[in-house]
Chains A and B, each alone.
Chain A
Amino acid sequence: MQILSRGIATAGRAVARHNIALTLAMVTSIALLSFTRPAAAMNIQQITSPGGIQAWLVEERSVPLISMRYAFDGGSSQDPEGKPGVANFITAMMDEGAGDLTSEEYQERVEDISMRMSYDDTKDSLYGSFETLSANRDKAVELLKLSVQKPRFDDDAVQRIRQQLVANIIYSDKDPTKVAMREWYAQAFAGHPYARPSSGTAETVSKINRDDLIAYHKRIFARDNLKIVAVGDITPAELGKLIDDVFGNLPAKAELMPVAKTEPTGGSQRVIEMGVPQSVAIFGLGAMPRKDPDFMAAFIINHILGGGGFSAKLMEEVREKRGLAYSVYSYVQPDKITSILVGSVATKNASMSESLDIIRNEMKKMAENGPTEADLDAAKSYLTGSYALRFDTNSKIASQLLGLMQEGFGPDYVENRNKMIDAVTLADAKRVAARLLKSNDLIVTVVGKPDGMKSEIPAAQSRVAAPTRG
């Protein structure tokens, strides 16, 4: 899984050879892609602030920058009943005025000191990203603190952002990929908070008001559900003071609603008609949770099947041999509540049925025979060899480590990660491939006008698709 060339910002319209989108896996699955600098070069310090808040720090003095990434357990699965979209809404509101500063004043100050701050939400977490030049650290921390502790949620700002979010939803509702993904979740997790669209719908977002945002902020922005990583030009003592400043006054405990464990219900196909020349499909099934002893093997199996760019079977069969698609891939996403293997393919309407048959067939072959020794070696070789590529910038390091922290791993994970990959044997891989790739459980949503395809949803879906937990 990689973000591939997107041309160049200065130049606009460059066309890359292929693009494996991160889609929803942007932030959460980072942990399992950990790479690291050699231990000698990257010293991860675990610090506790004077106020008792813990954080990881990697000091890097050669560039006058500080990157901080933090996360609150919560995310869109904590949206109030009947109001999906609150978490996503709040991520767009955090720079819309705080303390005594109106939205406009706040944003101008942020720009004046070239501070960078953004928020993002996933099903399980709310992520914050903060970067500043060393020279402006104090001013930037002051602004960050205001935003974290005293966001204003003024009515006019709420209204403005609401309109933007609704416009985005209307736009997304016409985007076959986004619709396919949304419907996949609705199908796989029917009746569970995961089934709700994270951004909400035009209808629910229209109803979200200032009180909803205040309530969510109060519940979720707390200290016991907070993880922090900083990388860059700062000492442990300075970081301790910084995080006390920014987070110290938050409530000690978050008020999280319990979210039931769930697993995708398997074996269905939905076709959603849209007048586009190219259909888009999302396909997926349950996978092993992050702490399952077989997780690493499952991760490698997915790499061989669909995650490894041009070395992956799906790319080979669908694109390279047959020219059916530009984009075909899969990824494993372990969330707190459930884990999934999800993939996507986009192809002209006439070829969707054929492409999905090929994908199912590749899954079946992999489940029955497992990978070859050569497949496994190539995958290990890439995964361990590209280890360091994820750690060549401050912000990448911060994101990687935050993912590990959230998964409950210690800094030693980065030392052991390659060993874990190397330890997966061919027998492990074969066994786990069979456990993981139950292609009869595949949940498929197709958006477009795919020739000869229609919805097939079993009347009673009582079987559980996800593997037993070990």
Chain B
Amino acid sequence: MAEFIYLYHNTPQERDAAMGSPEAAQRNMTRWMEWMRGLEQGGHLKSAGQPLEKGGKVVRGGSGKGIITDGPFVEIKDVVGGYSIIEAKDLAEAAELAKGCPALDGPNGAVEVRPVMKMDF
């Protein structure tokens, strides 16, 4: 088994829409709970991970080296709302599993699947 990280991408608008009414909130909560439970029951959930706060800072290099800005959350459309750590046979399986993620319900939602490098020394 290999380890993967799921980064849940969304746009602020979609995030608001997802919780825009109590009905929507109920639907989404149910979807996310089923999603996490599914991963867990399949033996794929190494860690449910953490949500990420909305705000933050970016420290840039290059010509603007050392400049600290708010964001990327204001400038860029999509934000990483949280992450989970997954166990799967290979990248193909990890990606296939991600298809059921509720983050994909909106047109701009995405799950970034990244293999965690093995460090055996």
Specify whether A and B are partners.
Answer: no
Residues on A facing B (Cβ under 8 Å): none
Residues on B facing A (Cβ under 8 Å): none
